[in-house]
Amino acid sequence: MIAHGKDIKIFCGNSNRPLAEAICKEIGAGLELGNAEVGAFSDGENFVSIYETVRGSDVFVVQSTCSPVNDNLMEMLIMIDALKRASAGRITAVVPYFGYARQDRKTKPRDPISAKLVANLITRAGADRVLTMDLHANQIQGFFDIPVDNLLGSAIFVEYFNKEYGGCDDVTVVSPDVGSVARARAFAQKLGMPLAIVDKRRQKANSSEVMNIIGDVKDKRVILLDDMVDTGGSLCGAAKALVEIGGARSVTACASHGVLSGPAVGRIQESALDEMIFLDTIPPTEAVLKCSKIKYLPVAHLFAEAIERIYEEISVSKLFG
């Protein structure tokens, strides 16, 4: 690894090409996506071909490990390996959504810690550093033996809600569960709003039972904050409880990553939510785009600034504020 490449080159796999293109546009200076082909052979094996020189360059590989998770992960690993063998000066894995992040500890005997395994794979493939956003658990940064910059999507939501509710005294931030309290508290402090908590008991994976509302949400406009939405059961259940038990006037939810698997889109459409806001770390499907309650905010400008700061060897910590 070198401390500073001779120029910036950005490549991407097939997981979120629109985001990679938007990052290039934000950086400007005529920067375009690197010339590469990423596909699969007839038997399903992934392949990568790089069609331009990367020798001595500061290379950034943009790839969310969203569905199909394993294909996207393998594309990233193979591309990193190809760039390493092509003598790239420094390789940064830009992973807007880090899959397997929920498997960060053993919850019962003989469980794997898959997040650690994926961290090892990215490192051994040849990445010199990782740039990601809103890891499900902050300690995952410690799974890597290379530098990790974990950007905060809440900065974008703070800007959005300051425009929507700035100066209002009838808005409350709500954590959808006890595990998200720290994230929601920091978000509420930045907005200057009070905090409430939905206390729930999880019976099994992807299912939860709402038990109680801690805090005052009666006749309030509520902002539910989470890091990701998968099947949507927990979030929609929390929204229902806030309206029916807590007496909230309206509920808007926001989350960095819209995984939206299984019945998630239908649940959101039929839920008590007035609006569901995601960042575009994961590209929306056609079904998602048809849902009138779901809205996306762009993150390309945040990643573009982080990439420029990494290339110029200046502090990235400003972006964590």
Q: Rounded to an integer, what is the distance from CA 295 to the centroid of its chain?
A: 15
Spot the catalytic one: 200, 204, 290, 295. 200
Dist CA 123 CA 136 (whole Å): 19
Strands of 90-95's sheet in order across: 8-12, 58-62, 90-95, 129-133, 148-151
Q: 60-81 b/e with 16+ CB inside 10 Å = b?
A: bbbbbbbeebebbbbbbbbbbb
Residue type at position 78: I
Alpha-carbon distances, residue 12 vs 37, 75, 183 (angstroms):
9, 9, 30
Q: Is 200 a known active-site residue?
A: yes
| Encoded tokens for 238 | 């929390």
Alpha helices, DSSP H only, in the chain? 17-27, 69-85, 114-125, 154-165, 181-191, 233-244, 264-270, 286-289, 300-312
Q: Rounded to an integer, what is the distance from CA 239 to the centroid of its chain?
A: 22
Question: What is the 3-state secondary structure of 68-133?
Answer: CHHHHHHHHHHHHHHHHHCCECEEEEEECCCCCCCCCCCCCCCCCCHHHHHHHHHHHHCCCEEEEE
Q: 225: which strand partners? A: 254
Beta-carbon count within 10 A of 218 CB:
12
Residues 6+ apart with CB under 8 A from 139: 104
Q: List active site positions.
A: 200
